Structure formats: structure tokens, C-alpha cells
């Protein structure tokens, strides 16, 4: 309840993150990323989340997945897909240096389409590639591009041929996942899709949760821990 002292302490901390100090103040550091007050302010109502916030949050999800009882999660950087789609496997080969992505259960690929965030999820247990767009656009070509990447990565890194016919590609429909009701919440939707998926939980939130999720994310990023 809002009368809970812990809740009040969190609220005042979140407000302070938005309102006091300079834009360039550093509020959090982890995953080779530095988050400033200016970055945190993109979490204010109707703000557009930037790459730093997206990548930091993905880092928190990966960190949590190392705990007992969670699927093993790998997350690509937000710049990965645009680089892959403009070059090919060759262009992003070094991105997984020293990592076997196939040792994970779930791979998250946050995607920035000019002015919109979406999420692609590879489930290596189920052999599925699913595309999540809170504006309901289809991403079948994106799924295909990533499957081709997986084929080449598997061949190159493990010398194993992927059997493409075993894989299912699917763009989630508007009746399958919640949809945003404004022009600015796509980044929060992507973070929360990723949060629920990385816990193997059904996606049950609604657009009404967005203001709360934004404030919660401020606290989580500052404290580098997911609530």
C-alpha cells in the first residue's frame, strides 16, 4: 500500500532521480554501461527509452537468470540486429566471441526500428523464434534473418548444421500479447515482455501497468536489482 514506509522511501528516491541534480550525474554503473540522470529521465511518463536503459535492463535480466530456478538467458545488445540486417553474419561474428549462445535456453534480441522498439525471442528449448511488437506489426522477415544468423553461428562455432525445418517462426498477434495505447511506451513493453519471458511466465500485464513499470524500472536500474 502507498502508506508502506518502504514504498514511500522508494517513491521519494524515484522522484529525486528525476528531479534533483544535473543531467550528466551518473546514477548507475554495470554491464560496461553508465546510466546518467538524463538516461533515467527517459523513464518519466511518455518518455522514449534510449539504448542505455534498454541494454542495462537486459543486463539485469541476464544477471537474474544466473540464479537457481530461472532459464539461462542471453541478451544481444540493441545495436546487434541493425548491424546484422545491414551486413550479415560476418558483420556480427565477433559479437559472440568467447560465448556459445547455444548453451542458453532463451536469447533476447531487442530491436530498434527507427522510432520503435520491438523484441525477438529465440527459445532454444522449443526451437521457436517469436516476434513481439506492441503495435501489432508482423516481423516475419526479422525472424527469418535471425534464423539464418543462427544457422551460420551454429555452423561456424559448433560445426553443427541447424535443421531449419525443426524451427517454428511466429509473429505474435494483437490478441496474443498486450498492445500499447500511446506512441511512447514501446520500450517499456519490450523490457516487460523480456522480463516475463525470462521467468517463463505468461504475459499478463496491460497498458495500464506502464506508469508503475516505469517507476519500478528507475529503482531497479539505480539499485541494479530486479524487484
Catalytic residues: 116, 133, 186
SS (H, E, C) the chain: CCCCHHHHHHHHHHHHHHHCCCCCCEEEEECCEEEEHHHHHHHCCCCCCCHHHHHHHHHHHHHHCCCCCCCCEEECCCCHHHHHHHCCHHHHHHHHCCCCHHHCCEEEEEEEECCEEEEEEEECCCCEEEEECCCCCCCHHHHHHHHHHHHHHHHHHHCCCCCHHHCEEEECCCCCCCCCCCCCCHHHHHHHHHHHHCCCCCCCCCHHHHHHHHHHHHHHHHHCCCC
CA 123 from centroid of its chain's CA atoms: 14
User: Measured at the alpha carbon of residue 176, what is the angle toward residues 172 and 178, in degrees to the nearest 5?
Assistant: 100
Amino acid at each position: 500500500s502507498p502508506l508502506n514506509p518502504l514504498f514511500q522511501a522508494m517513491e521519494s528516491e524515484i522522484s529525486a532521480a528525476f528531479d534533483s541534480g544535473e543531467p550528466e550525474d551518473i546514477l548507475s554503473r554495470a554491464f560496461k554501461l553508465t546510466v546518467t540522470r538524463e538516461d533515467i529521465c527517459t523513464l518519466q511518463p511518455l518518455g522514449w527509452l534510449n539504448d542505455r536503459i534498454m541494454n542495462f535492463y537486459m543486463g539485469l535480466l541476464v544477471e537474474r537468470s544466473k540464479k537457481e530456478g530461472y532459464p539461462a538467458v542471453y541478451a544481444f545488445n540493441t545495436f546487434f540486429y541493425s548491424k546484422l540486417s545491414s551486413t550479415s553474419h560476418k558483420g556480427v561474428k565477433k559479437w559472440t566471441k568467447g560465448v556459445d549462445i547455444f548453451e542458453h535456453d532463451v536469447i533476447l534480441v531487442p530491436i530498434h526500428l527507427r522510432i520503435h522498439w520491438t523484441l525477438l525471442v529465440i527459445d532454444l528449448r522449443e526451437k521457436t523464434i517469436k516476434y513481439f511488437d506492441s503495435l501489432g506489426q508482423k516481423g516475419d522477415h526479422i525472424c527469418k534473418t535471425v534464423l539464418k544468423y543462427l544457422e551460420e553461428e551454429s555452423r561456424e562455432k559448433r560445426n553443427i548444421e541447424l535443421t531449419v525445418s525443426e524451427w517454428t517462426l511466429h509473429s505474435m498477434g494483437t490478441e496474443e500479447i498486450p498492445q500499447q495505447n500511446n506512441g511512447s511506451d514501446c520500450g517499456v513493453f519490450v523490457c516487460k515482455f523480456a522480463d516475463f519471458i525470462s521467468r517463463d511466465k505468461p504475459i499478463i500485464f496491460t497498458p495500464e501497468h506502464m506508469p508503475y513499470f516505469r517507476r519500478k524500472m528507475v529503482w531497479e536500474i539505480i539499485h541494479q536489482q530486479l524487484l
